[in-house]
């Protein structure tokens, strides 16, 4: 794992609602952040997104599995996110596999997350989750 990616993963995993000022050390002011559900531009918008995220979830933990620096200043982190949300999965623990593509100079200026949005949301809602699970079984 590259030194930059290792440091980023370690610092990112310590984030919580009480220390979002740490985002300034990780991300450039012009950060572009994308995932299957959001597109965010600029550090203030990213800080607001994380504040809302951490206000609605409990027991947030990232396990980083591996990383690959594809080229200087560009790489990938593979992770599992573990969290609880009072309105998803009956408040039980949810684990989500994903991967982050990062581009950086001294700080990250592009962060794109890849994960199954259905596994994150739709499969965790009681009635809809059953339907999605049934469809996945039929398509497999």
Here the CATH number for the domain that contains residue 113 is: 3.10.450.50
Residue 62 has pLDDT above 70, yes or no: yes
> Percentage of the chain with pLDDT > 70?
83
- Three-class SS of residue 66? strand
Query: CA–CA separation, 51 vs 48, rounded Å?
Result: 5
Find, among 106, 118, 117, 128, the residue nearest to 29 by Cα.
106
Residue 20 has pLDDT above 60, yes or no: yes
Residue 129 has pLDDT above 70, yes or no: no
Q: What is the mean pLDDT of residues 41-63?
A: 93
pLDDT for 128 equals: 47
Residue 32 has pLDDT above 80, yes or no: yes
Q: What is the mean pLDDT of residues 57-78?
A: 94
Domain range enclosing 7? 3-139
Residue 131 has pLDDT above 60, yes or no: no
* 8 Å CB contact between 114 and 101: yes
* Count of the separate structural domains present in the chain: 1
- Would you give the end-to-end CA distance of the chain in angstroms? 34
């Amino acid at each position: 794992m590259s030194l930059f990616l290792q440091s980023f993963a370690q610092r990112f995993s310590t984030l919580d609602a009480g220390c979002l000022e740490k985002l300034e050390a990780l991300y450039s002011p012009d950060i572009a952040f994308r995932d299957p559900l959001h597109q965010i531009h600029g550090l203030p918008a990213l800080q607001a997104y994380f504040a809302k995220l951490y206000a609605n979830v409990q027991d947030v933990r990232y396990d980083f599995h591996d990383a690959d620096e594809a080229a200087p200043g560009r790489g990938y982190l593979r992770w599992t996110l573990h969290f609880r949300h009072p309105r998803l999965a009956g408040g039980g623990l949810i684990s989500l596999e994903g991967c982050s593509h990062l581009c950086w100079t001294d700080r990250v200026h592009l962060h794109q997350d890849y994960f199954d949005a259905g596994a994150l949301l739709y499969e965790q809602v009681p009635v809809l989750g059953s339907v999605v699970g049934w469809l996945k079984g039929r398509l497999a």
